[in-house]
Amino acid sequence: MPDKNVEPVLKLKFLSHGTLEVDDVDASRKFYEEFLGLEVVRTSPISLMIRLGGTHTYAAVKRGSKKTKMGLLFHNGLDVDTDEEVDECHRLCEEQAEKWGLDNITKPIKQHGTYSFYFWDKDGNAWEILSNPKGGYGWLFSEGDQDGSGHMAKDYERPWQK
């Protein structure tokens, strides 16, 4: 168990952003705004800032010549309220995959205590669409440290499911 009384070395205030790689800044902006519904601002000729539903942002930056595909474990989560909304998003991803360059669209399944599916965009960024309560995985902090498989266990009961 971590010692909650230990003072951190760095006195940081806010986890503000992450970074995605893109090949075509203008095309990626169109995808983010018109397909994913993200809020987007252009920050330079080679970068965008994107966000949805809060102040945490991602920088989307034009990559160099070496294209890589994001691994599944490094995906980006997009929350909806219900399993039915996950199914509708899945249907739309399948329907518009060619238009937006989506691939490897998985089938929605119950996993890690939620219902979700994954897909990759044309830039190789991995996305998960999942049913989650307001605030995403913030509820895990009130649960504290987990033993065993924790929230990854198939029979894990989320607080709102009890």
**7-50 pLDDT, tens digit each:** 888 888 888 899 999 999 999 999 999 999 999 999 999 999 99
CB 61 within 8 A of CB 47: yes
> Pick from 67, 65, 119: which is nearest to 89 by CA?
119
Domains of the chain: 16-66 (3.10.180.10), 69-162 (3.30.720.110)
| Count of CB atoms situated within 10 Å of the CB of 86 | 23
* Model confidence pTM above 0.75: yes
CA distance 107 to 93: 11
